[in-house]
């Protein structure tokens, strides 16, 4: 091989990175949620609530991390994809900000 990578190879690496990100993120989120449930069972409500909220936040932020990873990957091959990602991230941020004030 000449050292160049084909689009198929790049896309395969992206799929692998996304799979690792999702797998690791779900595992960490589940672990944090389990700690929250265990703390809740022992009556430490404030700590339990923090862990439960943290676990849910990790789970919610995983698609955002995936979108960022994809926009970094496609910035050179599909430059039109990056503005769409930025728009989606702005909409997610506006929705999150709006949801905090309701």
Give how far the C-alpha of residue 32 lies from the chain's centroid of Cα atoms, to the nearest Å.
15
pLDDT in tens, 81-98: 889 998 999 998 888 887
Strands (E), 1-102: none
- How far is residue 52's CA from residue 41's CA, in Å, rounded to a whole number? 12
- How far is residue 54's CA from residue 71's CA, in Å, rounded to a whole number? 25
Q: Are 74 and 67 in contact (CB under 8 A)?
A: no
37's CB contacts (< 8 A; 6+ apart) are: 48, 52
pLDDT in tens, 27-85: 999 999 999 999 999 988 889 999 999 999 999 899 999 999 998 888 888 888 889 99
This prediction has a pTM of 0.78
């Amino acid at each position: 091989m000449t050292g160049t990578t084909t689009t198929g190879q790049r896309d395969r690496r992206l799929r692998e990175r996304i799979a690792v990100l999702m797998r690791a993120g779900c595992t960490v989120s589940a672990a944090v949620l389990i700690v929250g449930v265990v703390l809740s069972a022992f009556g430490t409500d404030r700590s339990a609530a923090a862990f439960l909220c943290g676990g849910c936040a990790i789970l919610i932020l995983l698609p955002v991390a995936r979108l960022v990873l994809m926009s970094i990957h496609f910035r050179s091959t599909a430059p039109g994809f990056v503005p769409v990602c930025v728009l989606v991230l702005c909409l997610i941020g506006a929705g999150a900000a709006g949801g905090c004030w309701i």
